[in-house]
Every structure is written in C-alpha cells, then in structure tokens.
C-alpha cells in the first residue's frame, strides 16, 4: 500500500506556503497543526473553505468526502501573526 499524502496550504498574513503531510499520522484535524508545530490558539483550520473543529476525526472527513475527492489545498490553515 502506498503512502497517502495530503497537501495543506498555510496562510500567514497573506504569505502562503504548502506542506505535504502523511495522512497515516493524522487522527484528528488538529493533528495537522501539530505536524506543522502550529499553536491552535493562533490558527483556524478550514476544509474546502469551511471551518472545521480541531477535534474532528480525519477518518470521518475521509469517509464523508471520499479520499478521491480530497485535493491539494482543500485543507487550509489561516495563521494569525500578532504585531508586538
């Protein structure tokens, strides 16, 4: 069986980056943030342009959507950077 990857877009005050994450490492949507070492208090997580809770089970997302219908950038993190 081949490794399944998801591609996550990170938007930090308009600066966008893309990351590849091994799907097998993710139990919940919040694990995406943990993989990228992002604090949950400074970020919002979206799937297909809709906010999703960090405790949402990845298995549920995949079951409801179908792995074949998950595309690059469907998962997006909006990270707020506070000016000091």
- Is pTM beyond 0.75 here? yes
Domain limits of the chain?
A: 27-70
When pLDDT is cut at 50, 70 and 90, the band that residue 81 belongs to is confident
The whole-number average pLDDT for the span 4-33 is 94
Q: In degrees rounded to 5, what are phi and psi of residue 70?
A: -100, 120
**5-12 and 15-22: which strand pairing?**
antiparallel
The pLDDT value recorded for residue 4 is 87
When pLDDT is cut at 50, 70 and 90, the band that residue 82 belongs to is low
CA distance 5 to 53: 21
């Amino acid at each position: 069986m081949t490794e399944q990857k998801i591609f996550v877009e990170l938007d930090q005050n308009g600066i966008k980056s893309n990351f590849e994450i091994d799907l097998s490492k993710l139990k919940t949507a919040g694990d995406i943030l943990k993989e990228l070492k992002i604090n949950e208090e400074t970020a919002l997580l979206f799937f297909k342009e809709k906010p999703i809770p960090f405790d949402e089970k990845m298995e549920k997302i995949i079951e409801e959507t179908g792995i074949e219908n998950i595309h690059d950038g469907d998962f997006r993190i909006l990270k707020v950077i506070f000016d000091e």
